[in-house]
Amino acid sequence: MRAAIWFVSLFAVAVAMSIFLGAKQGVVTLFWPPYRVDLSLNLVMLLWVLSVVALYVILRSAQLLVDLPQRAQRWRLLQKERTVQQGLLQAMFELSSGRYLRAQKSAQKALALLQDLNSGRMEHALSESYLSELECMLHLLYAEAAHCLRDQLRRDAHFEKALSLSRSLQLLSRVEPLETSHLLATRWHLSDKDPHAALSRLAQLSSGAARRTVALRLRLKAARLSEQNEFALETAKLLAKHGAFTANVASTLLKSLIGACLSEAKDEAQLLKLWGHLETKERQIQGIGLLAAERLLSLKGSSKMAKEWLIHDSECLYKDPLSLTPELREQLVLFLQKVTLALAPNTQDLNVLEQAVRLHPQVVELQYLYAQTCVHHGLWGKAQQLLELLIPRNIAPSLKRRSWIALAQLMEQKEEHAKALELWRRAALLLH
């Protein structure tokens, strides 16, 4: 199709020229005594066009001939530039594949070629900032390989060169090399178990770079290594909001950090302040209320307030106990028993437990708590019946031992000392 269009265009031009030039009858006469030359006007116009084209070709050829040494030098620089880029790629591949010595050699060769480029750089040939970026990246690659080889002297030497180049590039509005240098140095400090130096390096990042997920992950690790649990908790919250973790991982991480912060509370006022700073969804993480309530009682706090902090965990225990792990259920019922004994008997608690046991008869922890609550309310016959049904079942040793003890105390109240002594003996055996 394209060839057909060219042929049609060629024929059109030929027809136009024949129409335009065929109608001209003019003659151009040149006098050069004693000669006279008559030329047609069409031929003169054709010779004029050809002379202009020939003059342009001659001038263009002369310009190309004059520029040939400069073009040859530019070509050699571009060839060296490609070689440097190949060395950079080779160093990256070798570093990623664990060939650290080869990565250092490739980076060193590329740096040597880059020095020739810097000395032979021509105006408008290679950008100075571009060459500085290449050199900075090569120094960082060499430093990373040296870090993997535990060669801190060479690592620090090449890093300082890269940092100097990245700071000069920052003046040209190129902030990426500086951010890369700081983040890479932060990883090295964390690898060297120096979290304070890592946090100091992260503090040098801009506010925008410090909020990125990679920087927040490094900050979280540094905060945990330096045991700054509150700072780590704030960072973990930001990462969770950014979607850096799955729901289960975020819940486990937040629970661990919140528990660490709660354990660091020195008095009740500090604990109340920390609890007030937690969001509702954070308080509703399984086990958080239990950890806070246990810490509150250890600080001689109010049992009533501890019970209020356990509302969410208690509702999970009563409504959906199988969603909790057996270990958490055991810890929860033992703590609820402790809180219940510290408070006055409450009929509403007894009714709620009775309904929960009816809905989930297979959950032995609920039956145990119901029996202990009956004892607290003075329902000794009901408690004895529940405990006798509970003991033969497969329950945790700690709950079984406490069940033996509660049943022995009930026998003592009935003055059945022989049975009570046997029950005390069985409870004691569970301690071994």
77 in the same domain as 134 = yes
pLDDT top residue among 217 and 432: 217
The alpha carbon of 174 is separated from its chain's Cα centroid by a whole number of angstroms, namely: 23
Residue 398 lies in a domain: yes
Instruction: Give the model's pLDDT for residue 268.
Output: 87
For the CA atoms of 174, 175, 180, 182, the dihedral, rounded to the nearest 10 degrees, stands at: 140
Which CATH number characterizes residue 399's domain? Answer: 1.25.40.10
Residue 403 lies in a domain: yes
Residue 221 lies in a domain: no
Digit-coded pLDDT (tens) for 151-184: 999 999 999 999 999 998 888 788 899 999 999 9
Whole-Å CA distances, 4 to 1, 9, 87, 383: 5, 9, 49, 104
Q: Give me the percent of the chain exceeding a pLDDT of 90.
A: 28
pLDDT top residue among 210 and 128: 210
Nearest to 284 by CA among 338, 323, 245: 323
- The answer to whether the CB of 259 falls within 8 A of the CB of 284 is no
Flag whether pLDDT at 396 surpasses 70: yes
367 in the same domain as 431 = yes
CA angle 267, 272, 278 (to 5 degrees): 130
Instruction: Give the model's pLDDT for residue 146.
Output: 95
Which CATH number characterizes residue 124's domain? Answer: 1.25.40
Q: Which two tokens stand for residue 101?
A: 């010595």
Flag whether pLDDT at 89 surpasses 50: yes
54 in the same domain as 85 = no
39 in the same domain as 88 = no
413 in the same domain as 393 = yes
Report the distance separating Cα 166 and Cα 184, nearest Å: 13
Mean pLDDT of the chain: 86
Instruction: Give the model's pLDDT for residue 160.
Output: 94
Q: What is the three-state SS of 248-295?
A: HHHHHHHHHHHHHHHHCCCCHHHHHHHHHHCCHHHHCCCCHHHHHHHH
Query: What is the arithmetic mean of pLDDT over 19-28?
Result: 66
Confidence of residue 124 (pLDDT cuts 50, 70, 90): very low
Residue 295 lies in a domain: no
- HSE of 193 in the Cβ direction (CA atoms, 13 Å)? 0
Report the distance separating Cα 251 and Cα 240, nearest Å: 9
Domain residues for the domain of 110 are: 73-174
- The answer to whether the CB of 372 falls within 8 A of the CB of 364 is no
Instruction: Give the model's pLDDT for residue 126.
Output: 62
Whole-Å CA distances, 390 to 15, 162, 359: 112, 70, 16
Flag whether pLDDT at 121 surpasses 60: no
Confidence of residue 432 (pLDDT cuts 50, 70, 90): low
Instruction: Give the model's pLDDT for residue 120.
Output: 56
CA angle 9, 11, 17 (to 5 degrees): 105
Residue 399 lies in a domain: yes
DSSP 341-402: HHS---HHHHHHHHHHHHH-TT-HHHHHHHHHHHHHTT-HHHHHHHHHHHTTS---HHHHHH
**Residue 201, Cβ density class (10 Å: 0-12 exposed, 13-18 middle, ≥19 buried):** buried
Report the distance separating Cα 393 and Cα 20, nearest Å: 115
Q: Which two tokens stand for residue 325?
A: 């792990």
Instruction: Give the model's pLDDT for residue 419.
Output: 80
Digit-coded pLDDT (tens) for 25-66: 677 777 888 888 777 777 777 788 889 999 999 999 888 888
Query: What is the arithmetic mean of pLDDT over 310-331?
Result: 88
33 in the same domain as 120 = no
Determine the residue type at 399. Answer: L
DSSP state of 31: E
Q: What is the three-state SS of 168-211?
A: HHHCCCCCHHHHHHHHHHHHHHHHCCCHHHHHHHHCCCCHHHHC
78 in the same domain as 155 = yes
- The answer to whether the CB of 85 falls within 8 A of the CB of 107 is no
Residue 93 lies in a domain: yes
pLDDT top residue among 423 and 303: 303
95 in the same domain as 52 = no
In the listed set 174, 202, 230, which residue is the last one of a domain according to the structure? Answer: 174
In the block, residue with structure tokens 């810490």: 295
Total domains, the chain: 3
Flag whether pLDDT at 17 surpasses 70: no
409 in the same domain as 343 = yes
Query: What is the arithmetic mean of pLDDT over 240-261?
Result: 88
Report the distance separating Cα 183 and Cα 288, nearest Å: 33
Residue 406 lies in a domain: yes
- HSE of 392 in the Cβ direction (CA atoms, 13 Å)? 4
Instruction: Give the model's pLDDT for residue 136.
Output: 93
DSSP state of 393: S
Report the distance separating Cα 303 and Cα 94, nearest Å: 62
140 in the same domain as 162 = yes
Whole-Å CA distances, 116 to 89, 121, 135: 19, 8, 12
129 in the same domain as 166 = yes
CB neighbour list of residue 262: distance below 8 Å, 6 or more residues apart: 271, 274, 291, 292, 295
Residue 209 lies in a domain: no
90 in the same domain as 121 = yes
pLDDT top residue among 200 and 394: 200
